[in-house]
Chain A
C-alpha cells in the first residue's frame, strides 16, 4: 500500500495547482485568441489591423520596451548592492531595512502619487531649490512636451518603488550561502571583489534568476504608475489595452495588446532561462 501511494504522491501534490491554472489561464488565453482573430464566425485579421494602425500603438510599443531595457538591469545591480550592504551588521541597519521594505507594500499608484509630492511644480524639490536660490522658476517635469523628462522620471520612481522586490529575494538567497564557502575563498587568497564574482554571485544565481524573471514580467505590463503620473503622455501597451477595454469597449484590440505583452514576456523568459540555468543544481547524485 505504501509504495502505491508514494508513486502518485508527487502528482497528487501538483495536480490542484495545475487544474486551477488550466481553468484560469488556459481558458482566457483561448478566449483572448478568439477575440483577436475571430470575427463574425470566421478567421479575420481586421482586429489586428485596427490594433496596429492605432495612432498610439507604435509609441506604446517603443516606450514599453524602452522602460524594460533601462529599468530591469538597473534594478538588479541596485538590489545586489543593497543586499550585500544589508547583509552586514551595522548601526542603523534596522532603520534602513525598514525603509527599504516600505515601497514593497505600496501600490504603484501610491508610489507615483507619493513622488508627485516631490516632483510636481509645487512639489518639495522645486520649492526647496527655489528657496535655496538655485533655480528661478519651478522645473517642469510634467506635460506632453517634456517627453524625455517624463520618461526619466518614470524610471527613477519605478526604481524607487520596485527594486525592493528583487532585494528581498537576493538577500534571502545571500543568507542561504554558507559562511564557510566565503571563508574558504578568503583563506585561499580571494579579495572582496573576487569573492563576489567567483563565489557569491554564482551561488546567488537561483535567486537572481527568479527575481529577474519576475521583474521583467511586471515591467512589460507597467501601467498604474505611468497612468497616474503622466497619463497617456507616455503611452504604454498595458495602458492602451486598458483604455481600449474600458473606454472604447473594443475588446478585440485590447486583447491584441494584451497578447502582445504576453508574447514578448514569453520570449524574454525563454532567453533568460537559457542564459542563467545553474547547471550544478540540476545535477543528480
Chain B
C-alpha cells in the first residue's frame, strides 16, 4: 500500500502548505485591524500581545480631523473614472489587435509594450506644468486622466491577449448564424472573455487606488487616500499608522466581501 501512503502524505503536505499560506496572508490583516482599534496604551505595553480594550478615537481623528474621509471619497472617484476611460479606449484597441491582421499591427503592439513600460513618475513631473496651464492641477479629473494614461497600454495588451485566447472560430460561428461581428463579439466572445476582463478591470482599479506618486505630485488639497497618508504618516505616532492602514484596507475588505462570490464564482465557473 505504498501508493496510498504516498498519496496521504502528499495530501497532508498540501494542506500544511495551504495552512501556512492562510496564516501568512491573514495574520497581518487581523493584527493590524486589532491594533487600529486598540487603546494606544496597550500597544506600548510589552505584555499585551493583543489589545483587550478598544476605542474609536484614533480612527475618528484620522477621518474627520485630519482629512481622511474626503481623501477616501477622492480615491474612489478617481479610480472609477480611470477604469471607464481606459476601458472605453483600450478594449476596442485590444480586440482589434487580437482579431485582425493589418499592416502596422505589430508596430502598434510593440509600441503598447514599450509604453506599458513607461512608468507614471515621469508623466507627473512635466504634467504638473501642463495641468497648471489647463487648470487641471489639484483636480480629481486630472489625476484620473493621468491614471488612465498609465493604465491604457496595459488594458490594450491584456484585452488583446484575452481575446487572442478565445477562439476566433467561435465568433465566426456566430457570424455565420447571422450576427454582425459586433454582435458576435457581444454575445460570444465577451462572455467567454469575462473572467480575464474582470481581472484586467480589477487590475486597473487597484493601479489607480494604489497610485501614490502622481496623486501626491498633482494635488495638494484634493488628495487621494494614499497621497494623504503618505505625508501624514511621516510624523504620526505608531498607533495612527494602524488606524490609517485600517481605513485604507477597510473599503478593500468590503469590496472583497461583496465581490467575493462573484470573484470566486468567476474562478469556480471556469474550473467546473
B interface, how many residues as a size bin?
A: 35 or more
Contacts of B47 in A (CB 8 A): 127, 131
Judging by beta carbons under 8 Å apart, are A110 and B245 in contact? Answer: yes
Among A27, A109, A131, A266, chain B packs the most CB atoms within 10 A around the CB of A109
Contacts of A93 in B (CB 8 A): 18
Judging by beta carbons under 8 Å apart, are B101 and A284 in contact? Answer: yes
Judging by beta carbons under 8 Å apart, are A262 and B117 in contact? Answer: yes
Instruction: Let me know if B157 is at the binding interface, CB within 8 A.
Output: yes
| Residue from A122, A176, A265 in contact with B118 in the complex, judged by beta carbons closer than 8 Å | A265
| Residue from B114, B145, B229, B267 in contact with A109 in the complex, judged by beta carbons closer than 8 Å | B229
Cβ-closest chain A residue relative to B196: A172
Contacts of A273 in B (CB 8 A): 113
Cβ-closest chain B residue relative to A285: B168
Judging by beta carbons under 8 Å apart, are A13 and B203 in contact? Answer: no
Tell me the complex Cα distance, A66–B201, Å: 31
Cβ-closest chain A residue relative to B213: A223
| Residue from A85, A172, A246, A259 in contact with B199 in the complex, judged by beta carbons closer than 8 Å | A172
Judging by beta carbons under 8 Å apart, are B212 and A105 in contact? Answer: no
Tell me the complex Cα distance, A98–B264, Å: 8
Task: Count residues on chain A whose CB falls below 8 Å from chain B CBs.
Answer: 102
Pick from A69-77, A143-151, A163-171 the stretch touching chain B: A163-171
Instruction: Let me know if A114 is at the binding interface, CB within 8 A.
Output: yes
Contacts of A268 in B (CB 8 A): 117
Interface residues in chain A, defined as those with a beta carbon under 8 Å from any beta carbon in chain B: 9-11, 13-14, 16-18, 20-21, 24-25, 27-32, 34-35, 82, 85-87, 89-90, 92-110, 113-118, 120, 122-124, 127-128, 130-131, 138, 160, 165, 168-169, 171-173, 175-176, 206-207, 210, 213-214, 217, 220-221, 223-224, 227-228, 231, 238, 241-242, 245-246, 251, 254-255, 257-259, 261-262, 265-266, 268-269, 273, 281, 284
Interface residues in chain B, defined as those with a beta carbon under 8 Å from any beta carbon in chain A: 14-15, 17-18, 21-22, 24-29, 31-32, 35, 43-44, 46-50, 88-90, 92-93, 95-97, 100-102, 104-105, 108, 113-130, 145-146, 148-149, 152-154, 156-158, 161, 164-165, 195-196, 199, 202-203, 206, 209-210, 212-213, 216-217, 225-226, 229-230, 233-234, 238, 241-242, 244-245, 248-249, 252-253, 255-256, 260, 263-264, 267, 270-271
